[in-house]
């Protein structure tokens, strides 16, 4: 099998300055009054567990209805495997290599020369607000720039995300203020992030009430141990981990708990959208419902989303309501789109000039105009594993490239490529790297080409040996202490 040695040597990433633009056109909105913009970002939502994407359980009737009445993108891809780099990619319009927030350290914040979406929208006359319940939305990460109102409700006391119901009323109250100005509202929905919160966790598995699944398995710490991260010999997780692996019913209960949480989220999001409609905002608001990333449920023997770029993590739902394209209701777009495409989409819909921003994404407005158009031939994602012990360098150690059929994986910690036929094998169970060296050659060239054309170019020493001070890899509890301990951080 042909494996370009230059690719293996070159595929590492460091933070830096913006790169030459790959797509930078802008067209003002057809509306005289600028469109309002609402983005609902559901953490850990994998597309294939939505009914509208073919799932057998009735997990998402509300969002399925929303998709049927608007435009659904069948092949939307996250930019990375976990929360922070995906948040940063959306709110800056840049890939992890450029915005630099792909490592768990509150010392690394977006370069202030790179404007955020909130800053650009505010400059354009929008009032701006963000509401969130997740840890990677706290102000410590620096993504609050440009927001008039920024409320992050993650509790560092309980170390669990806050429910959407805890802050969605505040978001609705904010929408009612100052109706003369257009608004940009960004809200995350974090109930689906482990531990898979729900008002009816046993909805799809009534026999699991009282099961240890609810107290031990549906947590990031257990996921890390399941995925092979080291734990202490005396850790009680060891015995439960053994029991979990030996009893197949436990995994099915975990999946059922995830689905119950997704159904819970569906009802909360659907209710929120209904209230937005009742406020009379529907006909003048661009609404984007998507996810920052998905979730592994034992695919490739992994749980959660702290490592790997397999489809359950990267394939995310994306549904768009644009008042100017109501005639596209029920349209399903098959073309490849990426999370970074949402940033120029918002700018174009709002009439915000973005030609000078050197964004790597492409506006989806052209696909609303012509759903059969080909926005791109290849889509890319990259990540640095979010491991409990951290990593003592700034290497991006996971990369993928895909076209409409094939997907190539490169992992710095593995000794070979992986290749999957997504049309025949959407969950990537059969590695065809040995059988298709021709596809390996083509996609590896595209991966290297993308890496070189999109990475920041600046002379200097590589950071791959040791991260520059003051970056420190410290235990998660110390990170939480540094991030603050307030229940409510307005």
Q: Which domain holds residue 323?
A: 30-378
Residue carrying the six token digits 């301990």: 485
For residue 192, tell me if it sits in a domain.
yes
Structure tokens at 265: 């989220």
How far is residue 111's CA from residue 14's CA, in Å, rounded to a whole number? 13
Q: Are 325 and 354 in contact (CB under 8 A)?
A: no
Q: Are 61 and 312 in contact (CB under 8 A)?
A: no
Residue 319 CB-density burial (10 A; 0-12 exposed, 13-18 middle, 19+ buried): buried
pLDDT at 475 > cutoff 50: no
How far is residue 312's CA from residue 296's CA, in Å, rounded to a whole number? 5
Q: Say how many domains are in the chain.
A: 1
**Which pLDDT band, with edges at 50, 70 and 90, does 208 fall under?**
low
pLDDT at 401 > cutoff 90: yes
**Which pLDDT band, with edges at 50, 70 and 90, does 14 fall under?**
very low
**Which pLDDT band, with edges at 50, 70 and 90, does 70 fall under?**
very high
Average pLDDT, the chain: 86
Mean per-residue pLDDT, 342-364: 96
For residue 345, tell me if it sits in a domain.
yes
Structure tokens at 266: 């569906």
For residue 450, tell me if it sits in a domain.
no
pLDDT of residue 454: 84
Mean per-residue pLDDT, 200-221: 76
Give the CATH number, domain containing residue 140.
3.40.720.10
Residue 48 CB-density burial (10 A; 0-12 exposed, 13-18 middle, 19+ buried): middle
Q: Are 305 and 54 in contact (CB under 8 A)?
A: no
For residue 223, tell me if it sits in a domain.
yes
Cis peptide preceding 182, ω within 30 of 0: no
Report the range of poorest mean pLDDT among 322-326, 408-412, 461-465. 461-465
Q: Are 101 and 108 in contact (CB under 8 A)?
A: yes
For residue 461, tell me if it sits in a domain.
no
Q: Are 218 and 72 in contact (CB under 8 A)?
A: no
How far is residue 194's CA from residue 221's CA, in Å, rounded to a whole number? 10
Structure tokens at 297: 């449920």
Name the helix (H) or strand (E) containing 139. none
Structure tokens at 283: 């006909």
For residue 96, tell me if it sits in a domain.
yes
For residue 402, tell me if it sits in a domain.
no
pLDDT of residue 212: 61
For residue 276, tell me if it sits in a domain.
yes
- 480 half-sphere exposure, CB direction, 13 A CA radius: 17
Q: Give 285's DSSP letter.
A: E
Pairing of strands 285-291, 36-42: parallel
Mean per-residue pLDDT, 380-397: 80
Q: Give 471's DSSP letter.
A: -
DSSP 6-50: HHHHH------S----S-------SSSSPPEEEEEEETT--GGGS
Whole-number percent of the chain with pLDDT over 90: 66
């Amino acid at each position: 099998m042909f494996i370009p040695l230059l690719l293996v040597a070159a595929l590492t990433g460091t933070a830096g300055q913006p790169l030459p633009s790959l797509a930078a056109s802008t067209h003002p909105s057809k509306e005289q009054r600028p469109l309002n913009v609402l983005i609902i970002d559901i953490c850990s939502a994998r597309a294939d567990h939505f009914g509208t994407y073919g799932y057998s359980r009735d997990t998402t009737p509300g969002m399925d209805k929303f998709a049927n009445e608007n435009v659904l993108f069948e092949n939307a891809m996250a930019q990375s495997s976990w929360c922070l780099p995906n948040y940063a990619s959306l709110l800056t319009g840049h890939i992890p290599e450029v915005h630099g927030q792909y490592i768990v350290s509150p010392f690394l914040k977006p370069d202030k020369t790179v404007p955020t979406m909130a800053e650009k929208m505010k400059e354009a006359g929008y009032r701006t607000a963000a509401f969130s319940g997740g840890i990677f939305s706290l102000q410590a990460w620096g993504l609050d720039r440009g927001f008039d109102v920024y409320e992050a409700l993650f509790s560092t006391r309980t170390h669990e995300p806050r429910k959407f119901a805890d802050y969605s009323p505040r978001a609705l109250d904010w929408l009612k203020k100052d109706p003369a100005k257009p608004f940009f509202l960004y809200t995350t929905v974090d109930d689906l992030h482990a531990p898979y919160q729900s008002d009816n966790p046993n909805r799809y598995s009534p026999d699991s009430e009282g099961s240890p699944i609810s107290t031990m398995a549906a947590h990031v710490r257990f996921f890390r141990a399941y995925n092979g991260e080291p734990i202490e010999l005396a850790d009680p997780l060891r015995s439960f981990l053994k029991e979990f692996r030996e009893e197949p019913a436990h995994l099915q209960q975990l999946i059922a708990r995830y689905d119950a949480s997704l159904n819970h989220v569906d009802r909360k999001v659907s209710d929120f959208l209904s209230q937005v409609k009742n406020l009379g905002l529907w006909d003048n608001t661009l609404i984007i419902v998507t996810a920052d990333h998905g979730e592994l449920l034992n695919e490739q023997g992994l749980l959660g989303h702290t490592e790997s770029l397999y489809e359950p993590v990267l394939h995310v739902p994306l549904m768009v309501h644009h008042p100017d394209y109501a005639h596209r209701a029920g349209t399903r777009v098959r073309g490849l789109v990426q999370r970074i495409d949402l940033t120029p989409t918002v700018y174009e819909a709002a009439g915000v000039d973005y030609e000078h921003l050197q964004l790597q994404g492409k506006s989806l407005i052209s696909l609303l105009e012509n759903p059969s158009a080909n926005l791109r031939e290849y889509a890319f994602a990259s990540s640095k594993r979010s491991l409990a012990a951290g990593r003592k360098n700034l290497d991006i150690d996971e990369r993928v490239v895909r076209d409409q059929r094939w997907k190539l994986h490169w992992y710095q910690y593995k000794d070979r490529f992986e290749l999957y036929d997504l049309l025949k094998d959407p969950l990537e169970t059969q590695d065809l790297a040995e059988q298709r060296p021709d596809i390996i050659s083509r996609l590896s060239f595209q991966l290297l080409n993308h890496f070189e054309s999109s990475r920041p170019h600046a002379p200097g020493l590589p950071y791959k040996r040791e991260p520059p001070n003051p970056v420190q890899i410290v235990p998660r509890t110390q990170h939480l202490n540094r991030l603050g301990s307030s229940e409510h951080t307005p």
